[in-house]
Structures are given as structure tokens and as C-alpha cells.
Amino acid sequence: MNYLAHIALSQPNSYSLVGNLLGDFCKGVQIEALPQAVRQGLANHRAVDHFTDHHPLVRHAKTHFSVQRRRFAGIALDVLFDHFLIRHWQAFYSQPFNTAKQQIYSDIAAAEHLMPPAMAATMRNVHQKDWFASYQQLPRLGYALDKIAERIRFTNQFSGVIKEIEPVYSLLERDFLLFYPQLQQQVQQLALEHN
């Protein structure tokens, strides 16, 4: 799952928010020195990723991608699933998405002092460039995926992956709608952030 889903699956406090986003920014971070609530959030992030990566629906969704792009199918699905989460937000959460988004951006800014520098810089970008708005429309989602492709440090064919998503969009959307409630239930059952 990508940033939005990790935030949505966190607890409503700064430590949990940071921990649930930290999974992508752990390099050089002394995990054992972090506050316990941040470590619990990180454990939740890792559990979410593990459940997602090994789920039959997600594994099947990856088969829709060409052999050339399948190596990056997980990345594409992470971002696409954030798109579907926004699209179907009201099916899972009571607060309207635009209200929730503004609260998320406010919470990210308030928690910045707890973040390692690389994470803080990325999260400022997420807020200032309103990444979650760009995830709402497929062309802008395609652009976001192409920007990710540019950051991959070796030659790849990930750029243009949106062309492979478009023909199977409704199938992937169905998979997400079946999968996300199971992920929510898994997080609830594990209760890694509850003392």
C-alpha cells in the first residue's frame, strides 16, 4: 500500500502517523531509539505490507501486467490502490475525503519534527504539491507513476505503466474493493498499536 492507505490504517496521533509512514524511510534510522508508539506504527506498516504482498487478490492483480513491467507491478498497485481508496473513500470512512485530506496534511505538518530528514522532505512535497489530489485522476496518476520510474536507479520499462492499467482498470478496482476490507480487518485483529 502507498502513503494514503498507510495513513488511513494508522491511529489518530502523530507517533502512529510517523511510524506508519516510516517503513519507506528507515535507511540510517536507529529503530530501537524511536519512541515505542512510533515503533508500533512501523510494525503496523510492515504488517500491512506483508499482508498486501502475500494476498491472493494482490498476487493475481500483478498478473495483469506485462512481463517487462511485472517486476514493478507492486509499486504500480500501491499507488493505484491509493487512487481506488480515494475514489471509494466513503465506503470505508465516514468523513468526506476532502475533509480527511486536509486533516491528513495538517497532521503531517504537525508531526514533521518526529520524522527523519528525507521523510520530512517527501511529506512536505506530498502536502505542498497535493499528491492525493493528483491521485484522483488517471492521467495525473500516470504522471505520478512515471515520476517514480524516473527515480529507479537502473534502466527499466516501468514508465508508461498506466497504459497497462487502463484496459484492466475495472478488474483491478474490483480486486481492491474485495481486498481493502480484509486489510482493515487484519489491522484490527493484529492490534499492533494497542497497548
CA distance linking residue 12 with residue 110, whole number of Å: 12
Question: pLDDT at position 150, please?
Answer: 83
Question: pLDDT at position 195, please?
Answer: 58
Question: pLDDT at position 154, please?
Answer: 72
CA distance linking residue 63 with residue 65, whole number of Å: 5
Question: pLDDT at position 131, please?
Answer: 93
Please name the residue that has the C-alpha cell 520510474: 149
Query: Structural domain boundaries of the chain?
Result: 3-190
Model's pTM, two decimal places? 0.94
The SS3 call for residue 24 is coil
**Segment-wise mean pLDDT, segments of 10 residues, the chain, 195 residues:** 95 96 92 95 97 97 94 94 98 97 97 96 95 92 88 78 97 98 97 84
The SS3 call for residue 1 is coil
Helix axes 36-54, 169-190, angle to 10 degrees: 140
Contact 4/101 with Cβ under 8 angstroms? no
